Structure 1
């Protein structure tokens, strides 16, 4: 038998650079619940006719036009982080981010990202929650975790 090499959600980390040289990346406890990364490709579609018999259906051909990625995170509000995240959003500046499977030999995606959405929501007698969305500012790299 061969089973799926599963990963626990807490092993997927969203890490933010401190901007120093050399950079130090750290996971902010504000993203303590859901977290994820989405890689997408938009395509260009062309149809190519059959030259021998133009009455036959054309062939559809696609090529990748652009690659994009976004990162999402959510969790219980970590009070000491809220202003930092709000300041980041209103600055409009990108930060270097890593999303990685926190196990040696697995994967990571790293690049420059903009914080494009930040929300804090609370209901009386329950813990306040946050959610964030980051979108790539430049092409990310995919590599193995060392």
Structure 2
């Protein structure tokens, strides 16, 4: 992994075309993006049996893992956005890759959990989307 700062615009999501072998293409138009790696906390706190009235140390362990990509920008009509929009309209799972510079690539099943179009009277149409992991992902660390 190369040292130094990473360029935000290279945080990408690529949508699979559903063919065999599957080809992945960047979802165009995204100007603001984020990728969230989180896990819920499972409370494992047990009061001290010898001193039940004393202070209690909260403890936890990782629970359900969540991976989520969010993006917004200018809607760009093209082949990849057509494939993506079919999945949005039909609420279907699709294969995608999220490329996180400085970390690696997360590949597997995803779903669009939120999608919104917006636009001013004079201007390009915008969109916002949240894409959540829909199954186990394969992680490949950046070389």
Q: Report the TM range for the smaller structure's normalisation.
A: 0.7 to 0.9
- What's 1:74 paired with? 72
TM-score for both structures, normalised by structure 1:
0.82
Contact 1:17 1:97 in 2 (8 A): yes
Over aligned residue pairs, what C-alpha RMSD do you find? 2.1
- On the 8 A contact 2:72/2:126 being kept in 1, the answer is yes
Instruction: Give unmatched runs, 5+ long, in structure 1.
Output: none
Moved more, 21-30 or 81-90: 81-90
In the TM superposition, what whole-angstrom CA distance separates every residue of 1:12-54 from its partner, at most 9, and x where no partner exists?
11111112222211102143x1122111100111322223323
Structure 2 counterparts to residues 1-146 of structure 1, below 5 A: 5-31=4-30, 33-80=31-78, 83-101=82-100, 106-145=103-142
What TM-score results when the alignment is normalised by the length of structure 2? 0.84
**1: distance between equivalents of 2:77 and 2:12?**
19
- Check the 8 A contact 1:14/1:35 in 2, yes or no: no
3-state SS of the aligned residue for 2:59? strand
Paired residue secondary structure (2:124): coil
Uncovered stretches (5+) of structure 2, i.e. residues with no partner: none
